[in-house]
Structure 1
Amino acid sequence: MVAQCTTSFGNLATPLLWLNWIFGAFPVRKFAEHAAKVIRLRKNNPELRRNDILQNLIDAEYEELPSTPKTVSEQTKIMGALGTHKIRTLRFEEVVMNTTLLFLAGF
């Protein structure tokens, strides 16, 4: 809606956007807050697990690391030709933002 009105309103677009930024409702932020509540509920209550994209994102936040090798030969066997292996999991904020984005994209 904003992109369409910028060509029609011309010079009024900047003050309107500024006022909307200060006094606006920001529905995406509210949805992100609700998504964060649902994510916390699912983390705290394992019986609320469901087989959906949100649960996959929550599971991606945690990744169990393999036990560290006890000897150099074990490490060589594990690493092999692959070189170093870096593991990065999602942060809570990333899970919330990805959930919000996926919901809005599907809507």
Structure 2
Amino acid sequence: MAYVSNLTCIFSALILHNDEVTITEDKINTLIKAATVIIESFWPDMFAKSLADINTGKLSSVIGTGGPAPVADAPPAGGPAPSSTIAPDKEKKVEAQKED
């Protein structure tokens, strides 16, 4: 039941965001009643409070992507910049494997 309740509130919040309507408990409840879905009463309040101070447009643009895309040429945090050439030792190993 929790899974259905969670998804119901998520989709309700996405619908409200898509229609550029402020996400509130009452509006989530209105959508849930219109969809004739029965959920525990605390879910809409919990979602409305948790999304109150969040930019839902920015949040919805990174969902499913694992976050914002990293910059392609940026060095890894705290480490040296990646080399664009193969190290000489690795090059010899690759050649030796090709000969076998």
Same fold flag (TM > 0.5): no
Larger Rg: 2
Shorter-chain TM-score range = under 0.3
TM-score of the aligned structures, taking structure 2 as reference length:
0.26
Q: Which has the higher contact order (CA 8 A, sep 6+)?
A: 1
TM-score by length of 1: 0.25
Larger helix proportion, structure 1 or 2? 1
